Amino acid sequence: MIELIPAIDLIEGKCVRLTKGDYDSKKIYNEDPVAQAKEFEALGFKRLHIVDLDGAKSKHIVNDAVLRAVTSATNLTVDFGGGIKTEADIRKAFDAGAAMVTVGSVAVTQPELFLSWLDTFGAERIILGADVRNGKVSINGWKEDSAEDLLPFLRTYVEHGVRNVLCTEISKDGTLAGPAISLYERIMSEYPQMHLIASGGVSSTADIVALDGKGIPAVVFGKAYYEGRIDLDELRRKALLP
């Protein structure tokens, strides 16, 4: 059964969504992220994905106070990403209550540092962020495309013990155009042991059901929920939500 992970993206302490990572496309959905997190918990969700968009832009964690407020007010298992560039950032996120952190850019630009974090904190607490655009892994809040091709990039880290991977197809993110199912199928065929978290483009309950049908372990969604496109009753009928 696919794991359902709603998302809260933060700018200036507010819940927002972008389209294709474009900060100029910001739309505010809730000015109170704690209230939003409580809503998700009340609906039966167990996980929450928080992205510090200010942090991604600033290259250091910015919204750790919001993270702490969310983890203090709920029992959600929170993974946190955005702006994690140093071990101090990781410790700040964990100190604020994150159960896991998502690290992307450092894995591309400083692989030895990333592997040291994997050893220090454990593979169960580190999620490899592999955000892709035109087949290349993107870095620094999606502002730059690296020279890394996705599948060889993943292979290197799977061989070093990475199990949790969050893969966002940037061209799909925030578009409600449907997820990149063929991409996720290709990843899972190469690395069947991976706990792959699909992200980007989810537009409806049917998209989630389709991902589940393909054996994708987990999915992150945001705009589809905020825009009223997710039928929670249908997810319960499919036994995908308690």
- Residues classed as catalytic: 9, 131
Q: Give the whole-angstrom CA distance, residue 135 versus residue 143.
A: 15
In single-letter form, the type of residue at position 103 comes to V
Distance of alpha carbon 97 from alpha carbon 186, whole angstroms:
34
Q: How many CA atoms lie within 13 A of 178 on its CB side?
A: 7
| Spatial CA neighbour of 168 closest among 126, 208, 139, 125 | 139
Tell me if 160 sits within 8 A of 167, measured CB to CB: no
**Positive/negative CA dihedral, 117, 123, 126, 131:** positive
Residue 213, classed as helix, strand or coil, is helix
How far apart CA 83 and CA 194 sit, in angstroms, is 24
Count of residues in the chain: 242
Pairing of strands 77-81, 100-103: parallel
Question: What string of DSSP letters covers 29-51?
Answer: EES-HHHHHHHHHHTT--EEEEE
